[in-house]
Structure 1
Amino acid sequence: MKKILAFCGILILSVLCFACANQSTTSVTTTTTSNSTSSLTNTYSTTETIVSIQPAYEVLVVPVGSTFTLQYVSNVEPIGFSSSSPEILSIDVDGSILGLANGNCDITLSYQQTVYATIHVTVVDDVAIIPPQKTIYKSGEVLNLFGARLILRNDDNLVIEEVPITSQMTSGYQPDETGTQHLSISYLGKTYHMDVLVLSAKQEASLATDFILLTQSPSAYQRVEFQLMKYDIDDFLEAIDNVYDMEEIVLKATVLTPSTKVETILGYWSQTYEEVHLPGLVSTSRNLEGLVTTLPDDITFGLNYVTASDPCFKMRYLPKESGQYQMVAELYVDGIKIQSFSKEFTVNASLEPEKGDIGIDPSNERHFQFENGDTYLPVGQNAAWYTSQDRKYYDYVQWFEKMADSGMNVARIWLSAWGFSLFWYDVENYDRRQTHLQSLDRVIELAESKGIYLQICLLHHGMFSRVVNPMWPGALNSWYVDKYGANPYGETLTSPGQFFTDSWAKATFKNQLKYLVARYGYSDHILAWELMNETDWIEEYNASIGLLWHQEMANYLHEIDPRHLVTTSFRNDSFYSSTFNVFQLESIDFVNVHRYGVEKPLSYLPAYQKIGANLFDKPILYSEFGLKSSGSEQLTYDPDNITLHQGLWGGLMGGGAGTSMNWWWDSWIHVSDAYPVFAGIAEVAHELDLSGDEYQLLADNPQLTISHAKVQAIGYRVDSRLYAYLYDTDFSLADPQTAEKSGVTLIMEGFLPGNYQVRYLDTSTGVIREQTLVVIPLTGSLTLFIPNFSNDIALILEQI
């Protein structure tokens, strides 16, 4: 008798064992006249030939590359083996099998040309390991292979066999050795591998008890919040070096939306505080940068924060669809996933239509556009920081209320050293900034509730300057440092210019970006991230090095937050300076410039916006613009806000992405209640649809003529729509009330014939002064008879 047994190898082979069709075993008995010379384990009759495969295979599934030897029993020798397709599977004289290629074949066992057994074999090269349910272990735990199996599939990707993985097949597990362990799985002569993790003490201390949904009854376009639950917070904080270092510990989640879109979000470490209001405690002398007002409508209480609960990891997400969501949250420590949680939640439909995120209008590349296709034209101002140390973010409650009442829809805010900065006091640990960040939470929530979109400036020049608003250690003028402290980057870097080149500085700033995106990137009321304010005020800023830094950081921001626009800013509009090459970068989405000392915005803005937009082929926004260098000086020089009015209209109707944006929000706009100046342009901006196949600035249209020599028009023609702002060229600070003009006509060619409606609007209020029907003849020539006006008038023409 010959008996050969083989299972050398690893993973899985599927073996289907069946009885032969016509007999219960593959033993065959025949009559013979001679005795076998084989050595037999059992005694057989010399009148019988016995050939038997043990076990009795009818169908065998073999992975490519696996080797094993058939086991058989015979009382005769020699037994012959053959494969019907040697290119698929080979078998040698001892019955040793080798899988070579995908396919099917037959193996036969024969003696003296008589076939005694046939096995149908399928060879597959698609073998997958399904890991056990438990792959992460605390030190000393016993390996648990429950659920582990090998999956074998054929060419049609159909599962032919599933083989449970047993402890006899597995080797390499060391329960007291921490780290990732590569286990070997042997099956049919082939070795496969799977990984398990034995946690380090730090990783074990980081394990959470649950991941919960905090938001009750989520709705589309409303923030949804989650929290990672942990009871032994003290042990965790002792084990982790820095909870804010997302290379050391990070919470990530993958979300599958009802429409099967896959989104990725990050968690952030947060300390929550309760607010304590202190009635009557608002002092005008306790100001940060700027003026603390105590007007009759101003908030009169101070704000203090009291710790509300243990700190924890949270996660924010903005669902944009109604329906069932699936989420998998994963916790990583030192780059290793140590825990995962699955979560399903249902989102209700939004009660009203939502616009979505803001991007660039692809039809003209000069304006912003909501996700739903509507034009977004920013009308607003800077409100860079709260000025009252007592009221804190409640300054924004009173500012945003007034802004929203006047139709304003944008504010530019800074993460200033004395306000919302993430890293002031400590570059890598943000514990001391958590109250400031909760204030920023509330400001963003206020903006969302008031329809105000935020351009968030992440850094400002003074942080890295020794001269201009200097906050770098050792500055000659120590006023800012004495009041707010020095830039903590100066504790490591020897000069501010190193911030743009040093690998540690760039890595820490990227970590700050990741934290900010994790905490605030959910919001669809963020217009843009602005990398730095007026970067070129920094003495050691270099245009070529700065270009590389902006490219790296803007690319990184787009990578971790593909939803929001990215820009930066400089102190002037010297477009041809090498500094402005930054705006050639694809990752910088729009041109963002500043200019002061402009007395005639209606002539200045259309001209310069045209240069900037054409040069960089991007939208252009004057996010700081004005006449004087202080709010009080501005009020004295221009008490009727002529330059403010003209800057708003010249920016928005003169080819800009929006209105120009004033500074001195506290000591000019709020203290004098100049908010109504924005009402007229805000009302008109709401009516403009600048997306279309045919887009043209009126200043570039040679077919436009106006009958009055002193009247000019700026605005847009988009398809069959006309949006125009007409003004007297004498209208200025020197002549704030020009003579009334009558009988002015506007003629323009190239319109489609048909019926149109024209509305003439008051530029101060946005109220319709007159509305008439206009019929354009087959010639396509439009003639408008403008109502009498003095300084300016706006019109909207649309086909009906």
Structure 2
Amino acid sequence: MKRSLILTLAFVLLSVIALNAETPITKATLINRSVKQFEKAEWNVSIKTIFTNAYLQEEVALDMLLSSPSGKKLVLPCYYEAGESGKTSQWKARFLPQEKGKYSYKFQLSKDGKVIYATKPAAFNAVASKFKGILNTKNDWTFQFDNGEAFRGIGENICWESRDNDDSKYFKALHENPKYNYEYLLPALAQHGGNYFRTWICSWNLPLDWKSGFNNRRYTNSSAYFNPSAISKMDRMVNLSDSLGLYIMLTMGPGSYDAKNGRYATSTAAFFTDAKAKAQYKNRLRFIVARWGYSSAIGAWEFFNEIDNVQFRDKNNPIPAEHIVQWHQEMADYLKAIDPYHHLITTSISHRDLKGLNSIGAIDFNQKHIYKNNHALPTTIVSYASQFKKPYVIGEYGYEYDWSKNFDEFAPEMDSDFKRGLWYGLFSPTPILPLSWWWEYFDNRGTDKYIVHVRTIQDLMMKAGKGSFETFAVKSTNPDVETFSVKCGNDIFVYLYNSKKEAAQTDILLPVQLQGYELVKYTCETGAFDKPVNLNGSLKISAAELNPNADVVYILKKR
């Protein structure tokens, strides 16, 4: 009992920096009883200082300065949580140790852009854990975690929860169904084999920058600079994603730049060039990184959804591309500088490239959206990845983009396009398989359950090659049968798809004789494997038979 009391007192003494009451930082308390690598460590920090808006770093800013076990110098933005100016206000630091071992740190307070106070150094020890860390770039085919394990994303867009008043002509009731929330959609995605999704911050979903006018009863009006109900929902969404092993492409968007939301007001065109507008956006980025940057569930920061559509919002007076590209360059550099974890960064276009946008060094992977042309998915991925020497992702795809149409009139085509986009992506050099749109529609039809069929083969690929993918060219003797192939480790995977309305038959010609291999057929639609058959060094796989609109995967597995 005495020893336990001594240990408890020792923990309190180590985790609380007791400071002179006259200093602006009056207390800094480590909440965790132990700190683990790749898990959140959190501090409560008490500050007594004067401010008008604690979210504006040019007025007041709290940073945590850390030295990692390997000697890296890190700067972690901290965020204001509650309290009045001139009285004791509460701030927080959320940190994810990416190394195990001893960290030293101190807190530093700035006013009007100048450092006015720093605490005495303190330390904590991060012990090893089973978690993997933050996603980083690796190659065109995969990302990798801090621990070196390869990752490939598969999932769909879940860009918002149901709205109160949806504008769909035929599916209004479906889209307004309150069951379509993160608590339903994210577990369903994980259950179906997904590990990645894309979601938006906007006026009706996670509306951090809006005081009212949400078109979504999940959020409440507030005069706060960042909406508390949106913050709370974001906390829940990030925590839920983390618990399910899901990774988020967080589309941050421009936020509000409207005076009614307490923002510096500007036009859409001036948003990209006005110094005050850019400073406002940087404060927004700082808060997002400070509050949620610790989470390994953040798979990527995405600046804009379809920036080319923003550019041409006024068709008669488009925003100059160079203004948008320069803004992205500045914001990507800034985000890299304030994010100590260096989460991946991206942005997206609909279909019109902006000169220079794909070449920004601090943007880790490029992205566009493709509708009504799923055959363009593989060629687009290969072309852009090769041209710009960085991974390429299809952030949205679908058979139809026009929400005024009745999808039920061509539902089989919608379903087929959903499935084909995943398979095309699986056999293309992209670290995130194409992400489908229309999540409510595909949930209602049960189409999204199909994701697990593709995930099954993806898992076999990742296991066989430990994340490595190589080109392995095979040929089909029937030009009407689409053929894709890849080698992972010693195993070879061949995808065949018959898009015709009549049955097709083909032989598969191999470039070399394969000694010691067996052949396993996987029927994509059913998810069933046939019994293995020995190849006996053959250069040909004979007589693959495919029904109309049917596909199979042949796995040539080294015995």
Structure 2 counterpart of 1:761: 522
SS at match of 2:381: helix
1:395-794 matches, cutoff 5 A: 395-425=181-211, 431-459=225-253, 492-493=265-266, 495-538=267-310, 539=314, 540-561=318-339, 563-572=342-351, 574=352, 577=353, 579-598=354-373, 601=374, 603-628=375-400, 629-630=402-403, 633-639=406-412, 641-666=415-440, 668-689=441-462, 696-697=470-471, 701=473, 704-718=474-488, 720-730=490-500, 735=501, 738-739=502-503, 741=505, 744-750=506-512, 754-764=515-525, 766-774=527-535, 776=537, 782-785=539-542, 788-790=545-547, 791-794=550-553
Contact persistence 2:102–2:125 (CA under 8 A): yes
Contact persistence 2:106–2:122 (CA under 8 A): yes
Q: Deviations over 1:634-691 (max 9, x none)?
A: 344224711111111122323433322122223x123333321211112222222497
Q: Deviations over 1:429-481 (max 9, x none)?
A: 953412201211111111111111111111169x68xxxxxxx79xxxxxxxx
Match of 1:252 among 54, 63, 78: 63
In structure 2, distance between residues paired with 1:645 and 1:405: 17
In structure 1, distance between residues paired with 2:426 and 2:262: 40
In structure 2, distance between residues paired with 1:373 and 1:786: 41
SS at match of 1:688: helix
Contact persistence 1:649–1:681 (CA under 8 A): yes
Change (3 A) 1:695 1:399: closer
Code of the aligned partner of 2:188? K
SS at match of 1:447: helix
In structure 2, distance between residues paired with 1:795 and 1:631: 40
In structure 1, distance between residues paired with 2:148 and 2:346: 22
Contact persistence 1:386–1:419 (CA under 8 A): yes
Match of 1:380 among 131, 152, 155: 155
In structure 2, distance between residues paired with 1:795 and 1:569: 34
Check if 1:213 corresponds to 2:7. Answer: no
- Cα distance, 1:727 vs. partner? 0.9
- Cα distance, 1:626 vs. partner? 0.8
In structure 1, distance between residues paired with 2:384 and 2:247: 23
SS at match of 2:452: helix
Change (3 A) 1:632 1:225: farther
In structure 2, distance between residues paired with 1:342 and 1:355: 29
Q: Deviations over 1:331-356 (max 9, x none)?
A: 33332231315433343432x3x333
Q: Deviations over 1:349-400 (max 9, x none)?
A: 32x3x333222224xx354333344432221111112225699998101101
Change (3 A) 1:693 1:488: closer
- Cα distance, 1:257 vs. partner? 3.7
In structure 1, distance between residues paired with 2:80 and 2:466: 44
Q: TM-score, normalised by structure 1?
A: 0.57
SS at match of 1:553: helix
Structure 2 counterpart of 1:482: none
Task: Give structure 1 stretches of 5+ with no counterpart.
Answer: 1-135, 139-203, 273-309, 465-471, 474-485
In structure 2, distance between residues paired with 1:320 and 1:584: 29
SS at match of 1:726: strand
In structure 1, distance between residues paired with 2:527 and 2:409: 27
Contact persistence 1:207–1:338 (CA under 8 A): yes
In structure 2, distance between residues paired with 1:415 and 1:392: 19
Structure 2 counterpart of 1:279: none
Select between 439-448 and 716-725 the one with higher mean Cα deviation: 716-725
Structure 1 counterpart of 2:554: 795
In structure 2, distance between residues paired with 1:694 and 1:367: 8
Contact persistence 1:393–1:439 (CA under 8 A): no
Code of the aligned partner of 1:410? Y
Contact persistence 1:758–1:797 (CA under 8 A): yes
Contact persistence 1:630–1:664 (CA under 8 A): no
Q: Deviations over 1:712-740 (max 9, x none)?
A: 2113235644232111142xxxx4xx537
State how many pairs are aligned.
503
Change (3 A) 1:623 1:431: same
In structure 2, distance between residues paired with 1:317 and 1:528: 17
Contact persistence 1:499–1:506 (CA under 8 A): yes
Structure 1 counterpart of 2:94: 316
Contact persistence 1:725–1:795 (CA under 8 A): yes
Structure 1 counterpart of 2:6: none
Contact persistence 1:270–1:434 (CA under 8 A): no
- Point out the structure with max Rg over C-alpha: 1
Structure 2 counterpart of 1:283: none
In structure 2, distance between residues paired with 1:783 and 1:219: 53
In structure 2, distance between residues paired with 1:402 and 1:455: 18
In structure 1, distance between residues paired with 2:459 and 2:119: 46
In structure 2, distance between residues paired with 1:792 and 1:393: 33
- Cα distance, 1:760 vs. partner? 2.9
Contact persistence 1:460–1:533 (CA under 8 A): no
- Cα distance, 1:595 vs. partner? 2.0
Q: Deviations over 1:517-555 (max 9, x none)?
A: 111111222221111111122234221111111111111
Change (3 A) 1:446 1:749: same
Contact persistence 2:345–2:364 (CA under 8 A): yes
Contact persistence 2:150–2:466 (CA under 8 A): no
Contact persistence 1:712–1:726 (CA under 8 A): yes
In structure 1, distance between residues paired with 2:73 and 2:529: 46
Structure 2 counterpart of 1:331: 109
In structure 2, distance between residues paired with 1:488 and 1:786: 68
Change (3 A) 1:321 1:370: closer
Q: Deviations over 1:736-784 (max 9, x none)?
A: xx5374xx43222257x653354432323544333345455xxxx7544
In structure 2, distance between residues paired with 1:323 and 1:798: 42
- Cα distance, 1:785 vs. partner? 4.7
In structure 1, distance between residues paired with 2:305 and 2:80: 27
Contact persistence 1:368–1:377 (CA under 8 A): yes
In structure 1, distance between residues paired with 2:37 and 2:466: 29
- Cα distance, 1:210 vs. partner? 1.4
In structure 1, distance between residues paired with 2:41 and 2:496: 46
Contact persistence 1:252–1:265 (CA under 8 A): yes
Is the helix fraction higher in 1 or 2?
Answer: 2
